[in-house]
Every structure is written in structure tokens, then in C-alpha cells.
Structure 1
Amino acid sequence: MTTSSSYPDIDAQADLMVYLVLSQLLMRHLTGRWLTVQHVVESTHLWLLTNGGSVDWLQRISLGSRAQELAEEVAQIEGITFDVRTLEAAFSGYQHLNHRSPAVAAIYGACVAFVVERRTAGSRTGSEK
């Protein structure tokens, strides 16, 4: 039997992924380009400083490398226009997520599904990461 302590915190992973996806979307709307790898690393470090280090480095790399792909997918969510105003409202002071924002709620659901699917796929292949 696997104990829950052997699994990383789904909420922390999803929260990091939301932060990275929103950062990707905001950059895309402001500049027409996605975040560079360096910007993803910097955004991840900023999130860690603000929220604590509960996501290990390998998981951070994995999540960071998929953030743009997930941003492209969530940009298609019906009922939410991911314009600059919506994206700015998703952040509280650019460091914290505004969990009352409809954009954060929608993206959070997609990120939890992504993290759980990743974990499920990993457990089928013998890897939990």
C-alpha cells in the first residue's frame, strides 16, 4: 500500500500550474509571445518564494515544460475571455492568485485534471512523477 506521503501535494502542483498558465497567457496578450524558458524558471522561483517549496524540482520542471501547452488549451474555455483585464484580475499583486477570479477557477479545474492525469499515467508506468 502506498502512503499519501509518497505523493506530492496535488493542490500545490495545481496552484503552481495555474500560476504558470496565467503567466503564459498574460505574456502572450501583452507581447504576442509565450514565456521563454528563462521566464518560466523565474516565474516558478517567484511562485516558490511566495508559496513555499512543496513541489520538488523534477515536478517543477515537468509542470513548467507543459504550461504553454495547457495555456493554449485553456485559452479555448468557453465563457471566459482571457484578455489583459481578466488576466490581471487573476493575480493579487502579481505574486498571489486571486482564487475569486472566474479565470483562476476555470484554469484551476483544468490544472487539477492535468496533475491527476499525470499522476495516474505515472502510476500505470511505475513512475509517480
Structure 2
Amino acid sequence: MEQALAFDLLAPTELLTYFVVSQLTAHHMSGEWLKADDLAISAQSWLRVNGCNMAFLQRRRLAVRARHLAEHVERISDTAFNETTKASMLFSGLGLDFRSPALVEIYLVCMNDLLGESSTDQNPNKQERP
């Protein structure tokens, strides 16, 4: 049962993580958040590169969640999400590099969100920044 759950969550969690990284990068560079529709459409490339299939409505739901999670990560994380951090989190712009501590932090927030847990519960000793 655990293996099926992990498989069912793997692609959505990775895509949501990619969306959150994209949101943080765009916000750092322009001060603007990406539109969910733009993320959902651009996800086709990510899915093709990563060998996944996902319905448009599922991609759209994940894209909508990404902004909220990106805002949350900005508030709670000690990591500065800039171009250097982004470069350490991605391979060739589309693949996630799990050697990056910043990426692992975002991945865990995304997984907790998809599992229905409050992402603020992942580290009860961590306080949100004002």
C-alpha cells in the first residue's frame, strides 16, 4: 500500500515542487508571480522531459496551489531564493536536483500539502518570518 501511495504522489509532488521553484524564481526576478494557466501549460515540457502524463485539470490545480506554497516557503525558509539557489535546484532547467537542500525543503512542503497536512507542521520549532 505504501508503495502505491508513493508512486501516486511522486509525479504530482515533483511537478508541484517544480512549480513552486518557478514561482520563487519569477518573484525574485520580477517581483511578480506567474499565472497558474501559464504554469499549467508550460508543464507539458516538464512532463515530457520527465516521462510523465497528467491531465490538464490536475496540472492546473497544482499550478494554482504553487503560488500559495511559494509564498509560504518565502515566509518560513531561511534560504534566499535567488538565481544561484535556483541553479542549484534544477538540471537543464526542467529536472529537479535533490542534492540541493533548498529543493528538499520545498519538496517536503509540497508533499505535506498534497497529503493534506499543514505545511507549517513540518517543523514545529520553525517560526514564520514577519
TM-score bracket for this pair, using the shorter chain length: 0.7 to 0.9
Superposition TM-score, scaled by structure 2 size = 0.77
The runs of 5 or more residues in structure 2 that have no matched partner are 118-130
- Which runs of structure 1 show a deviation greater than 4 angstroms over 4 or more consecutive aligned residues? 4-8
Partner of 1:109 in structure 2?
A: 108
Identity of aligned residues (%): 33
Cα deviation, 1:49-71, whole Å, max 9, x if unaligned, reads: 11123433332121111111110
CA 1:6–1:98 in structure 2 vs 1: closer, same or farther (change >3 Å)? closer
Deviations 1:76-116 (A, max 9, x none): 23332212211221111101011111111000000110111
SS state of the match for residue 35, structure 1? Answer: coil
Asked if 1 retains the 8 angstrom alpha-carbon contact of 2:40 and 2:56, the reply is: no
Question: Where does 1:28-47 land on structure 2 (aligned, <5 Å)?
Answer: 28-47=27-46
Deviation at 1:8, TM superposition (A): 7.2
1:34 counterpart SS class = coil
**Cα RMSD, aligned residues only:** 2.4
Which 5+ residue runs of structure 1 have no aligned equivalent? 119-129
| Alignment partner, residue 20 of structure 2 | 21
Quote the offset at 1:43 in angstroms.
2.8
